[in-house]
Amino acid sequence: MSDRVITYSPAYTLVPTYECFNRCSYCNFRVDPGTTPWLTLKQAKEELEGLENQNITEILILAGEVHPQGAQREAWFDLIYDLGELALSLGFFPHTNVGPLSFPEMKQLKQVNFSMGLMLEQLTPKLLQTVHKQAPSKVPELRLQQLAWAGELQIPFTTGLLLGIGETPTERIETLEAIAHIQSRWGHLQEVILQPHSPGKKQSFAAGAFSERELIDLIKIARQILPETITIQVPPNLVPNIEFLLACLEAGARDLGGIGPIDEVNPDFEHLHPDKLSQILAGLGWDLVPRLPIYPQYYDWVSDRLKRAIA
């Protein structure tokens, strides 16, 4: 593949629920538990059937979290599984990112997902006293365990760093080194997202946007630390200046992630339509190419049912 190729996943996001027992101070996604109805399978089917002829391949199942011992945990998990089953039955490629899961939950979701994901964000425990003070599932060891379990289960996986939430440059490097160590053992990490904090309207966290210069420098550092088997991803809607995006590509980023109608995590930052983005990049010597949410080197890891869908 040419070094001037940039990939992205044509994606649509299904949100079973925005309700979340965590309260991260930078979050622009969550609502309080018990305040909104959950997505039904009937509603989801209508949404997905409306995507016909829109060249969507990936269905990102993205949910707020129910406490692992919460009364609604089983119903929450069943809905997430059923949404994967539904998307698969309609010819889409499900990818689930719903926070930390138990080993049996991950094993079950592998049956209806081509890949899964969980952001490490940052491994420094000091954030549990600041932005993650009311976010029990953001304990670093818990999230590292997810990456290890995904490796044991041979689940193609995406993780990443959230940048500018109170960590130091040294702590970012430590998180990257932990990811590289995990990849050296299991080799299941497809992508690492470098996501700059971008202030939204709902958050209480008062910090500004992560600096462009620091992001470009960190991409270069990440490319040195991470194995070549991991692709570095940047969200193009969070680097909207085209010169800034080009600098990220020159520094070593090679994927733009899922691009769809709405970025549910950063709803204040719209994506350019892929056709427009492709046109801009082509004029600057880059080819934007769609991909599946599972990379070809992992095709043998999925069930025969999922292999038939790929074929």
DSSP strand E in the chain: where? 5-14, 58-62, 93-97, 115-117, 157-163, 189-196, 231-233, 255-259, 287-290
- Residue 25 carries which DSSP code? T
Question: Residue 38 carries which side chain, given as an amino acid letter?
Answer: W
pLDDT tens digits for range 160-174: 999 999 999 999 999
Amino acid 2: pLDDT: 62
The rounded mean pLDDT for the chain is 97
pLDDT tens digits for range 90-104: 999 999 999 999 999
CA neighbours within 13 Å on the CB side: how many for 77?
A: 19
pLDDT tens digits for range 214-268: 999 999 999 999 999 999 999 999 998 999 999 999 999 999 999 999 999 999 9
Q: Where are the alpha helices (H) located in the chain, listed in sequence order?
A: 41-49, 73-89, 103-109, 140-152, 169-186, 212-225, 242-251, 274-282, 304-310
Amino acid 179: pLDDT: 98
**pTM of the predicted model as reported, rounded to 2 decimal places:** 0.97
CA neighbours within 13 Å on the CB side: how many for 263?
A: 22
- Residue 102 carries which DSSP code? -
Beta pairing class for 5-14 and 58-62 = parallel
Is pLDDT at 60 greater than 90 in this prediction?
Answer: yes
Is pLDDT at 52 greater than 90 in this prediction?
Answer: no
Return d(Cα 250, Cα 75) in angstroms, integer.
45
Please give the domain boundaries of the chain with CATH numbers for all domains.
5-310 (3.20.20.70)
pLDDT tens digits for range 270-311: 999 999 999 999 999 999 999 999 999 999 999 999 999 999
From residue 64, alpha-carbon distances to 17, 56, 96, 219 in Å are 6, 23, 12, 29
pLDDT tens digits for range 175-208: 999 999 999 999 999 999 999 999 999 999 999 9
Amino acid 53: pLDDT: 86
Span 149-153, average pLDDT: 98
Is pLDDT at 147 greater than 70 in this prediction?
Answer: yes
Chain centroid to Cα 82, Å, comes to 20
From residue 132, alpha-carbon distances to 40, 66, 178 in Å are 30, 16, 20
Helix axes 169-186, 212-225, angle to 10 degrees: 30
**What percent of the chain is helix, strand and coil (3-state, nearest 5)?**
40, 15, 45
- Residue 232 carries which DSSP code? E
From residue 304, alpha-carbon distances to 106, 111, 309 in Å are 18, 10, 9
Return d(Cα 293, Cα 80) in angstroms, integer.
17
Question: Residue 86 carries which side chain, given as an amino acid letter?
Answer: L
List the structure tokens of 145: 């365990």
Amino acid 307: pLDDT: 96
List the structure tokens of 268: 């204040």
Task: Work out the pLDDT band at 32, boundaries 50, 70, 90.
Answer: very high
Amino acid 151: pLDDT: 98
Sign of the alpha-carbon dihedral angle for 204, 208, 210, 214: negative
